[in-house]
Chain A
Amino acid sequence: MTSGPRAVRSVSGAVSVAGALVVWVLLLGPVITLLTHISGSAIASSLSAPGALQPLVTSLEAGGVTLVVLLLICTPLARMLARGTLPFPRVWEAGVLCSLLLPPLVIGLLLVFMVGPYTPFGELIGHLNLSAVNTFLALVIAEVYESAPYYVLGAQAAFASVDPRLEQQAALLGDRPRRVFRRVTLPLAAPGLAMALAVAWARAMGAFGAVVVIAYHPYGLPLQIWTTLQATGLPSALPFALVLLVVALPLPLAAYIWSARAQSRRRG
């Protein structure tokens, strides 16, 4: 008599797995297509050209600086949003959502008004022989603007998942706020923060819309793909897309695995 429900469960499980597989394959469709359209010789030819890997270095450096900026500036904002310690919290959240909703190309166009060489900011940094257009600084600014909303919203959720009573108990035991943050809040929010940072990293590495407007130089990987496509066509551009995937993927993947393990340990 028990074989019937067991069989149903097993069929239902198989259907779920098949469904998940279909969705996974569909989501990975472009990546699978990429792999079927590039050859080893095309990869070798594209990547062995003089200076071909400089955009990779540029992307890694700019992405790294972007993450540091996000950690330093956006983490406190995310925590205050999560704890509701800011006046008019909805206004702050709406501001973050606005920057999330703006198409990256529009962000780039508006950044020209904000940081262009003849703006007050542009003239100020001009005295230091710096420019926020077509420079490494411009690339970081564009990547920060494209990735910050994703990090803030992810980090806000991570901080919100920490039970405030634990922080209150630590405070009652005499810990100062900074120590409470370091010893209680941060460890508990870390898995979520890691995921938020991973998403921001992926966003920064793939940033294009704002970058193409204010940071055409120095080339990062997305612009390298674009300019190679224009200069020599699709076959020579695709290997750089593969490089982008290979370089950008490990960090989010590691963050996801670590985050999932940390959460399962906490549950277990």
Chain B
Amino acid sequence: MVAIVGRMVDLRNRRGAQVAALFAIASIGLAAAGCSSSPSTSAPKVPGTANVAYASSLQYLNTKVVGPAFTKATGAKYLGTSGASGTLSSEIAANALPDANVFESVGSDNITPLEPKYTHWYVQYAGNKMVLAYNPNGKYASQFEAIASGKEPLKDLFTLLQTPGLKLGRTDPNIDPQGRYFIEMLELAQMYYNLPADTVTNIIGSPLNSSTSSEIYAESSLDSVLQAGELDAASAYYTQAIELHLHYIALPAMINLGTAADGAYYSKATITTTNGKVHSGEFLVFDITIIGKATPAAVAFVKYTLSSTGIAQYKQGGFTLLKPTGFGTGIPAAIRSELGS
């Protein structure tokens, strides 16, 4: 019991440091909004509410930084709903999110099924990448740290992950994009480092698309279980590792799905989900669109996100910056003006 209490106190202390750091990021975001050249007290306020459905990896950024800063800059209200991009897309298609007027998705393949009924376009504007988060107090912490610091070659990570008894956590590849990206990353690593052909199956078991592996956790609880010290390592987006102050191992561009130029190489990794759909590796990109009628608040939110202020907030959160690029037709003029900037 003493040990449990001790660990909780330890976690509370770590959380304290994390809260302080996150507060700092949030303050920067709010300060940026205050200093923004966007509509200020002299500009007319934008009416209505930006009701944003967004990928859960944007939760911290939207809730703590972009949402409040957007409201301060434009006067429009902000409401957010987070979830897996695929789920949000299904819910929008089923009219289960009738108030959503902006959709921020990981990958355009969650937006295109909504065309032409709900939208005709999307804008790519930010990227992310995969890392491996690890438990700094766990049994294998010293080995992970040696790899993270470069004392041991990164190739050894994939041998370490095969250690019997090592507790790895990941999400379900059939319902969560991160679950698929993690497997694709392992496949790319196997190719990139010329590792034995059974490396991936030794790490995550077989079949690759299993939903019932004991390694699989809900996306919402995976980080918590890692932070509680009950996992040795877990899949994570780079932005999650930054926001939650997780210890992590950065991965080479050729396998972390984080470089647009390596898209062709990423596509060599594939995972077939249980519904028979084949998913190829791809650059982890965020896309934004307006759902339904382009209300002033929805347009203002997209414009704010793509503005230099919005993009700076994404950079602060660890996202890769991209030149905002539009696809499709009918992009509102106010948003078109932010493209390519």
**Known: A112-B225, A119-B4, A230-B175. Contact between A213 and B218, CB under 8 A?**
yes
- Point out the residue from B91, B176, B221 that lies within 8 Å of A234, measured CB to CB: B91
Q: Which residues of A contact B220 (CB under 8 A)?
A: 212
* Closest CB in chain B relative to A56 CB, distance in Å: 16
Contact B175 A231 (CB under 8 A): yes
Inter-chain CA distance A218–B218, complex, in Å, is 12
- Point out the residue from A120, A135, A212 that lies within 8 Å of B3, measured CB to CB: A120
Contact B94 A234 (CB under 8 A): yes
Chain A residue at minimal CB-CB distance from B11: A113
**Known: A230-B86, A234-B90. Contact between A108 and B221, CB under 8 A?**
yes
Q: Which residues of B contact A131 (CB under 8 A)?
A: 214
Contact B225 A213 (CB under 8 A): yes
Per-residue B-contact encoding for A186-204, CB less than 8 Å = 1, 0 else: 0000000000000000000
Chain A residue at minimal CB-CB distance from B8: A113
Majority secondary structure, B binding face:
loop
Inter-chain CA distance A196–B229, complex, in Å, is 36
Inter-chain CA distance A229–B94, complex, in Å, is 11
Chain A residue at minimal CB-CB distance from B86: A230
Contact B4 A113 (CB under 8 A): yes
Majority secondary structure, A binding face:
helix
Contact B275 A113 (CB under 8 A): no
Chain A residue at minimal CB-CB distance from B7: A113
Per-residue B-contact encoding for A103-127, CB less than 8 Å = 1, 0 else: 0000011001110111110100000
Inter-chain CA distance A247–B335, complex, in Å, is 51
Chain A residue at minimal CB-CB distance from B88: A230
**Known: A117-B167, A217-B214. Contact between A112 and B4, CB under 8 A?**
no
Contact A117 B230 (CB under 8 A): yes
Q: Which residues of A contact B172 (CB under 8 A)?
A: 227
Number of A-B contacts (CB under 8 A): 84
* Closest CB in chain A relative to B107 CB, distance in Å: 15
Report A126-155 residues with CB < 8 Å from chain B CB: 131, 133-135
Contact B90 A118 (CB under 8 A): no
**Known: A116-B229, A120-B3, A216-B216. Contact between A232 and B275, CB under 8 A?**
yes
Contact B230 A118 (CB under 8 A): yes
* Closest CB in chain A relative to B291 CB, distance in Å: 16
**Known: A113-B228, A216-B221. Contact between A231 and B7, CB under 8 A?**
no
- B308 in contact (CB, < 8 A): no
Q: Which residues of B contact A19 (CB under 8 A)?
A: none
Per-residue B-contact encoding for A211-231, CB less than 8 Å = 1, 0 else: 011001110000000010111
Q: Which residues of B contact A (CB under 8 A)?
A: 3-4, 7-8, 83-84, 86-87, 90-91, 93-94, 96, 138-139, 167, 172, 174-176, 211-214, 216-218, 220-221, 224-225, 228-230, 275
